[in-house]
Amino acid sequence: VILTDQYTCTAECQIVHAVWGTTLFNTTVHYTVFSNGQIKVSQKLVPSAVLRRLPSLPRVGLTMQLIPSLCSVGYFGRGPGENYPDRKSGSEFGLYSTTPAEM
């Protein structure tokens, strides 16, 4: 955990994903919490040599639980609904806003 100033806190998590002793990918996730309540989450995924030989990477994502009393959620990504590798071309990158109940 890094206090970048008296009102902002950043945490970094480094994760190694492995199956049967073989590393599949390394992930670094940064969480930044701002004094106004905003949370910025960024993720970097580095595939191992084993995965680089595949035609496409396995599905990787983040899951978060939000309290229903939140009134809005804003995010940058493909949207506005869920999307998967076989239909992502139909989802534009952009800034989206919704409610936790609609996610």
pLDDT in tens, 36-50: 878 888 888 888 888
pLDDT confidence of residue 53: 81
Do residues 93 and 76 touch, judged by C-beta distance below 8 A?
yes
- Please report, in angstroms and rounded to a whole number, the separation of the first and last CA atoms in the chain: 29
According to DSSP H, which parts of 3-84 are helical? 49-52
Question: Is a pLDDT exceeding 80 seen at residue 60?
Answer: no
Average pLDDT of the chain, as a whole number: 77
Question: Which range is least confidently modeled, 4-8, 16-20, 76-80, 86-90?
Answer: 4-8
Q: What is the distance between the alpha carbons of residues 44 and 27, in angstroms, rounded to a whole number?
A: 6
pTM, whole model, 2 decimals? 0.57
